[in-house]
Chains A and B, each alone.
Chain A
Amino acid sequence: MSEMIVNQAIGEALAEEMRRDPTVVMFGEGVATKRKDLVAEFGSQRVRNTPMAEGIIAGTAAGAAATGLRPIVDLLFAPFLCLAMDEIINSAGKLRYISGGQFSFPLVAIAMTGGGWTVGAQHNHNNEAWFVHSPGLKVVMPSNAADFKGLLKSAIRDDNPVIFFIDMPLMYQAGQVPAGEHIVPLGKAATLREGKDVTIISYAKVVHTCMQAANTLAQIGVSAEVIDLRSLKPLDEKALIDSARKTGRVLIVHEASRMCGVGAEVAAIVAEQAFEALKAPVLRLTGPDAPAPSSYVLEQAFMPQPDGVVAAVKKLMG
């Protein structure tokens, strides 16, 4: 166990997996420039810079994945995924099915998103639900350094395309990371705090907002359980349902906009499978239906804040 920032945890996962499996390769805009240690250890065949061309980066990953490599591609910022949608959705996501199972697509596409760097709407767009809604893909969005390492290792080993979102401000956040073989399975949520009055479900950076709120709530006698989804697809339905049945009150918090977001699915699952246990309607606290702003003040207003989480829980408590 040692303390490191998320970016280092990612680097550790990449290096360990490339060492373990010679078919793991990585490419993207600036990958070889930024990860010189990987180039030094694994060579320029396996770690490559690419032209600024997201479509061909993702398509190359899909083609390589189907024919024996396990590519990891860095597509930089989540809005840039728009330029790689055909390759991710129509090729990587569908060609296994279309081909009757002849091919598999073990690839990881990394993209950053989330408010905090005031980069505005064309570099920050929490579009993770688009990929959750598309068949054949898996989607993860970790919240802490240890999970970044463990989930990235699982994503690289998975035989399916995994979209790996990095909430931008987490990049330089430090945390304790287990050395060596630390694996976090895809599809397994983490209960970060046990509670009995209310369940707060979240993922990525906003998990920390929810933890802060839970501390405040404890001071006023409300015991909040905080669940970090970690994987958005597959979704750990059992963890959600069990917790909803235990507390009877559910708040979902994410930065992505509300309509058809991950929170909508979580709310529906809870309503379908734990309705009899609910003491109050399921609530969502989300970003607005607006492009992500760049002004610091507006960006902070866009993102769920601890006060807002506390207020929403108070509403749930009646």
Chain B
Amino acid sequence: MDEIKTDASPKAMLECMMLIRAFEENNKALNAAGNFPGTCTCIGQEASAVGVVRALVKNDLILTNHRSAGHLIARGADPRRILAEIMGRSTGYCKGKSGTLHVSAKELGVILTSTIVGGELSLATGVALSQSVLKRQGIVACFFGDGAACEGIFHESLNLAAMWNLPILYVCENNQWQAYVRRDETMLTDHISKRASAYGIEGITVDGNDVEAVWAAARDASAKIRNTKKPILLETYTYRLSGHFEPDDMGYVDPEELAEWKSKDPISRLKAKMLESKALTSNDAAQMEQRVQRAISDAVSFAKASPFPEPSELTTDVYA
């Protein structure tokens, strides 16, 4: 049984971001080497995932999407079982039936992910309705991107959540890309959070590459939601530093823009800050890197040694 992680110390958040990055880079490398599925990585968006997830408490619920590794790992998911799932093995979180695109882990409260862009927005209201009607304590964090904010269901979801006082922290990870389309080709305004006022709820934008700022904003927003039960739209303004779906040479990305965002990389940024303030020694950093690399090589060994599902699994779990 995995344990839900809530440690939001800068060191814990740094190491978690490093683990997510290494996990995703490893997927890219495995994919490039062949015989490994394509994946949607969250490289560049680690601060958004870790900052929000670590601001949650154990009985909160999370809905993620096709870029889920960050949310899962931040919550405490075992990289071995995520990788096994990606590789279609029966030891994966979904017994190999999800693959990379819609991994959920009920035991961690990471539930009902949908890879249909906006699908998670349509489910979040129902999860929050259960919390409300059954008088449960936890709030619902729903992660989606600027692409999903272009879907009609974005409007339907926020409007209903506002009307019904549903305890949802809507987290729009505005990563500037919608698959292969630049965000600014799809909307005239830069910020999704501005739309919140149209629904009578609060909207906030935070620097999505500053994990401490994201954590503080998510902590404040979730405290308000617990108190008022009203939804809040939190936009983490960030950048997808890798392709939409590996392999992707990103030939369509302006190199100058990419370089500029790389200079704001959330991991090197926090590491530099902590080294400078002596909150972290270079020895600490080296040990973190070692632990991360060990976790990744463990994950690869575990996943590769895991069995594929039995053919009889083809038609199980269709009906309850």
Contacts and interface: CB of A to CB of B under 8 A. Distances in A.
B112 A63 contact: yes
Given A60-B160, A99-B98, A55 B127 contact: no
A266 B96 CA distance: 34
A69 B128 CA distance: 11
Interface residues of B, number: 44
Interface string A93-110: 001111111111110000
Given A53-B160, A63-B125, A90-B116, A98 B98 contact: yes
Interface stretch (A43-51, A122-130, A285-293): A43-51
Nearest to A136: B318
Given A99-B106, A102-B104, A102-B106, A67 B130 contact: yes
Contacts of A45: 132-133
Contacts of A135: 318
A11 interface: no
Contact of A60 (B61, B118, B129): B129
Contact of A160 (B97, B102, B319): B319
Given A100-B94, A100-B98, A104-B320, A66 B111 contact: yes
B97 A60 contact: no
A64 B126 contact: yes
A181 interface: no
Interface string B176-197: 0000000000000000000000
Contact of A159 (B127, B152, B318, B320): B320
Contacts of B127: 63-64, 66-67
A48 B160 CA distance: 12
A156 to B, nearest CB: 14
Nearest to B153: A55
Given A100-B95, A103-B111, A86 B119 contact: yes
B205 interface: no
A67 B111 CA distance: 9
B157 interface: yes
Contacts of B153: 55-56, 59, 86
Contact of A23 (B98, B119, B134): B134
A64 B159 CA distance: 17
* Residue among B116, B133, B164, B316 with most chain A CB within 10 A: B133
A108 B173 CA distance: 33
A96 B317 contact: yes
A87 interface: yes
Nearest to A65: B126
Given A51-B156, A99-B94, A86 B129 contact: no
Contact of B125 (A25, A60, A100): A60
A29 B43 CA distance: 42
A216 to B, nearest CB: 41
Contacts of A63: 112, 122-130
Nearest to A48: B164
Contacts of A66: 111-112, 123, 126-127
A100 B123 contact: no
Nearest to A159: B320
Interface of B: 61, 92-98, 102, 104, 106, 111-112, 114, 116, 118-119, 121-134, 152-153, 156-157, 159-160, 163-164, 316-320
The list of the 6 closest CB pairs from A to B, nearest first, reads A63-B126, A59-B122, A100-B95, A56-B156, A159-B320, A100-B94
Given A69-B129, A135-B318, 14 more contacts: A25-B133, A58-B122, A59-B122, A59-B157, A66-B111, A66-B123, A67-B111, A67-B130, A91-B116, A91-B119, A95-B112, A101-B95, A102-B111, A160-B319
Interface of A: 23, 25, 45-46, 48, 50-51, 53, 55-56, 58-69, 71, 86-87, 90-91, 95-106, 135-136, 138, 159-160
